Structure 1
Amino acid sequence: MARVAPLPVDPAGNAVTNSVLARVLGRRPEILAAFGRLDAAARFHGLLSPALKESLRRATAGEIGCAYCESLGTGTPEPADRRESLAVAFAKMIAEDPAGISDAQFDVLREEFTEEEIVELVAFVCFVGIAGQMFGAVMGLEAADPEEAAAYQAVLERRG
């Protein structure tokens, strides 16, 4: 059970606003609103595809230990291409040891990504992926039920 009780489900809400993450974070509505704007901007806009960003999110969910985040879809089959493979490996390195990232690892990223894409990749992993996952892990959020996980995937399909 979550360490802080989620707000009740809003019958007029949707899958995003009624997620357990949103219902816990909703105890501080201004923080939920700001995080929601950051999440939407980082996840669905920019130079990197939403599909790549979802691969990054899935790659770090287990590392951080958020049962809720893991339940939304974990792992990824073999990465689609070298870019995705590099990005996923880099995201895992950030999750494992952010201070251990070397200049050489950035040089490898530069073989496939522009400077702007690297900034977006790191911002997404740190500000949205790992930060949200860490919140869920610290708050003890339980796994999403199958309906909530399916709703999350439907949002990705619509926005991607």
Structure 2
Amino acid sequence: MARIIESTKGGTAFQRLLGHNEGILERWTKLGDMLEREGRLSSHLKEQVRRTLAQENGCEYCKAKGKPDPYTFNEKISVAVGFAEVFNKQKGNIPDSIFGVLSQHFTDEEISELIAYISFATASQYYGALMKLQAN
């Protein structure tokens, strides 16, 4: 059970916790929708990154959507997932050499999108963990 009672606003348990603050719910959901859709990076790549982050970020709700699926990885997904693993271990203290690896596989625009996505997904997962949001 979550630490607070779910509101009546929102389509998921996560959104109903945010729904106590409609402005936050609306903007968080819009940003999440924008970051999750196809952009410079594929939705599939981002989902594999999200799943990787979820394994360490303490949100049972987020982990319930599954582990990364390495059988669907290509080279870019492997590098992005590897970066997400380093991010989880280093908590933002990423050496320049790791960014050098990213630069070999991604454009600056793609790196910007990847870092924005990782930051947002991590914040969402921390929120779920802090609220003790459980999988259904």
Query: Normalised by the size of structure 2, how large is the TM-score?
Result: 0.93
Aligned residues: percent identity? 38
Decide which moves more: 39-48 or 54-63.
39-48
Q: Give the 3 Å change call, closer, same or farther, for CA 86–79 of structure 1 in structure 2.
A: farther
Give the corresponding residue for 2:124: 132
Question: Partner of 2:56: helix, strand, or coil?
Answer: helix
Letter aligned with residue 31 of structure 2: L
- Residue 62 (structure 1) shift: 1.3
Decide which moves more: 71-80 or 21-30.
71-80
Decide which moves more: 57-66 or 38-47.
38-47
Separation (CA, whole Å) in 1 of partners of 2:72 and 2:84 = 13
Gaps of 5+ in 2: none
Gaps of 5+ in 1: 11-16, 146-160
Equivalences for residues 40-79 of structure 1 within 5 A: 40-79=33-72
- Residue 22 (structure 1) shift: 0.5
Give the corresponding residue for 1:116: 109
Question: Partner of 1:100: helix, strand, or coil?
Answer: coil
What whole-Å deviation, never above 9, does each CA across 1:11-44 have from its counterpart, x for those lacking one? xxxxxx3211001010111001110111011110
Tell me, yes or no, if the aligned pair for 1:42 and 1:124 is still in contact at 8 Å: yes
Question: Partner of 1:3: helix, strand, or coil?
Answer: coil
Tell me, yes or no, if the aligned pair for 2:59 and 2:125 is still in contact at 8 Å: yes
How many residues are paired up? 136
Query: Normalised by the size of structure 1, how large is the TM-score?
Result: 0.80
Separation (CA, whole Å) in 2 of partners of 1:126 and 1:138 = 16
Letter aligned with residue 103 of structure 1: D
